[in-house]
Amino acid sequence: TRLVYFDETDSTNTRARKLAEEGAPHGTLVVADRQTAGKGRRGKSWVSPAGTGIWMSMVLRPSMSPMSASMLTLIAGLAVVRGVKESTGLEAMIKWPNDAVLNGKKICGILTEMSTEVECIRYVIPGIGINVNMDGFPEEIKATATSLKLEAGRSIKRSLVIAAVADNFEYYYDIFMKTCDMSGLRDDYNKSLVNLGREVLVLDPRGQYKGKALGIDGEGSLLVRREDGNVSAVISGEVSV
Ligand code: BTN
């Protein structure tokens, strides 16, 4: 793995994209101490102050369909949860599709970007943000965000977490590559799924509905048993607990 480190950058995802365009090889890891324009999902910004968090993005060049590649975001979530456990002992859980939560509050968000060409992947950039040593959060996210330090009651060494997450990503990526889907990993994933067996609200653009989360299937979709007994596969989007 090639590691590219910045004290400061706009966004490690944007940086990783640029490096990928310039030919950076598969496995390049981009890490920054501080992001000045950290990006969240749905056009939101991501608070990324210096010294307290992990802001990292990977350049991957798998040969597979965009559909398969989109599942790499689930692999990243799994790698975070297992990497955090190994390096800190904290048992974070996955909130489908790829947030990591501790005691119901978010400690990690993942933004995956990709570039495709005629249904072929040029590169995929999973970007991972982990709240590590923050002592508090801005008013707007205070109720829903936490950090590893706040949960563990002690400071956490970021380099250990980065190494553990990267190691776990490699481990799960190799299993994923055997089938290019989640069939070999759905049990592992569902074991860490905070939504499992719980009531969820599916925010489907065609209409919201409630149901019980049954876990993901081999395609990475969340299976939800609706109140009428039918099971729906939620391909992408949001569920709220
Ligand atoms: C979310 O909205 O939950 C996704 C947040 C993703 C944040 C990470 S931090 C590293 C990488 N670079 C970015 O600009 N965003 C991702």
CA distance 164 to 186: 21
Q: What is the pLDDT of residue 218?
A: 97
CA distance 56 to 44: 17
User: For the segment 91-110, what is each residue's pLDDT rounded down to a tens digit?
Assistant: 999 999 989 999 999 999 99
Distance 129 CA to ligand 1 centre (A): 5
Average pLDDT over residues 192-217: 93
User: Which is the closest atom of ligand 1 to the Cα of 32?
Assistant: 10
CA distance 75 to 173: 7
- Closest CA to ligand 1's atom 15: 39
Distance 73 CA to ligand 1 centre (A): 12
Arithmetic mean of pLDDT over the chain: 95
ipTM above 0.95, yes or no: yes
Q: How confident is the model at residue 241 (pLDDT cuts 50, 70, 90)?
A: low
Q: Is the CB of 109 within 6 Å of ligand 1?
A: yes
CA distance 14 to 22: 13
User: For the segment 107-166, what is each residue's pLDDT rounded down to a tens digit?
Assistant: 999 999 999 998 899 999 999 999 999 999 999 999 999 999 999 999 999 999 999 999
**b/e map of 12-29 (b: 16 or more CB within 10 Å)?**
bbbbbbebbeeebeebbb
Q: Is the CB of 156 within 6 Å of ligand 1?
A: no
Average pLDDT over residues 79-83: 98
Distance 165 CA to ligand 1 centre (A): 15
Average pLDDT over residues 6-21: 98
User: Which is the closest atom of ligand 1 to the Cα of 48?
Assistant: 9
Amino acid in position 145: A
Distance 19 CA to ligand 1 centre (A): 17
Both tokens assigned to 36: 């000045």
Query: 116 pairs with which residues across the strands?
Result: 121
Q: Is the CB of 57 within 6 Å of ligand 1?
A: yes
Which of 18, 29, 55 to mutate for ligand 1's pocket (most ligand atoms within 8 Å of CB)?
Answer: 55
